[in-house]
Amino acid sequence: MQVKLRVFRFDPEKDQKPRYDTFIMNVDPNDRVLDLLEYVKADFDPSLALRRSCAHGVCGSDAMRVNGRNYLACKVLVKNLNADTITVEPLLGLRVIKDLIVDMGPFFENYRSVLPYLINDEPLPADGKERLQTPEQQMRFEETTKCILCAACTTSCPSFWADDRYVGPAAIVNAHRFIFDSRDRGAEKRLNILNEQIGVWRCRTAFNCTEACPRDIHITQAIAEVKKAIITGKVE
């Protein structure tokens, strides 16, 4: 099938303003948007800049806007877009470094601010081995372990567009991952951080994050569980 691919181009060091390059190409309906971008790089313009690594939806490096919605370019097929014009743009709310590459700095700063690692200073169990938990205790936070930090959620959030100091859905998902882990002792610290002006209360339940997540994480629900823990003072 023939598609018209429109690609956002911008080099802040050279260009006054962004432009869109258009390519008419014959593609397979089963091609991924990432394949189309690779064709452009190989056959038309090797200067096109984008991040990608695994090409199999695992590393989280190629999140971008395709026809106005956030996807992993390597996980969205041409046939699933139901359109013969495909517009590819960088994620919103983060500074464009070049073409489809954005500055992930603020995103990872927010991620770090919620202490996304296991905190437990208590002595190890008597046998000196691992801290055990039941399968049920593991299932409590299983959902939020699936995050690959692609930023598709956070950059689809209107509150984040307004102010990139809002921790955003991805940081809350990763806080949830440890808050509800029975082996962790840092929940109180994280919940107090998320209770501040830039924390969970900036979430307006828009559900954009849940729709954008390529890992199908129930993000809005995870955020609600964190809000509930803050209000009730109970991690259940």
Partner 1 sequence: MTTTTRPVKVKRTFEQTAWLWMRYSAFLLIPLAWGHMILQDVVVGVHNINADYAIQRIANLGWKIYDIFLLGFAFAHGMNGVRQVLRDYIRNPQTFQVVSIILLVVWFVITMMGAIALLAINQPLGG
Q: Which residues bind ligand FES (CB under 6 A)?
A: 52-55, 57-62, 72, 74
- Output the smallest distance, CB 158 to ligand HEM, in A: 9
User: Exposed (0-12), middle (13-18) or buried (19+): which is 197, by Cβ within 10 Å?
Assistant: exposed
| Per-residue x/- track, 110-149, partner 1 (CB under 8 A) | ------------------------x-xx--x---------
140 binds, among partner 1, ligand FES, ligand SF4, none (CB under 5 to 8 A by kind): partner 1
**What are 110's two structure tokens?**
């927010």
Residue selected from 204, 207, 221, 228 as contacting partner 1 according to rule CB under 8 A: 204
User: Helices marked H in 40-149 — which ranges?
Assistant: 105-113, 135-142
Q: Please report whether residue 205 would count as binding ligand HEM according to CB under 6 A.
A: yes
Find, among 82, 69, 85, 109, the residue nearest to 36 by Cα.
85
- Output the smallest distance, CB 209 to ligand SF4, in A: 6
Residue selected from 46, 68, 128, 233 as contacting partner 1 according to rule CB under 8 A: 233
- Output the smallest distance, CB 168 to ligand HEM, in A: 16
224 vs 108: CA distance, rounded Å: 22
Interacting residues of 145 by C-beta distance below 8 A, sequence separation 6+: 177
205 binds, among ligand HEM, partner 1, ligand SF4, none (CB under 5 to 8 A by kind): ligand HEM
- State how beta strands 2-9 and 85-89 pair: parallel
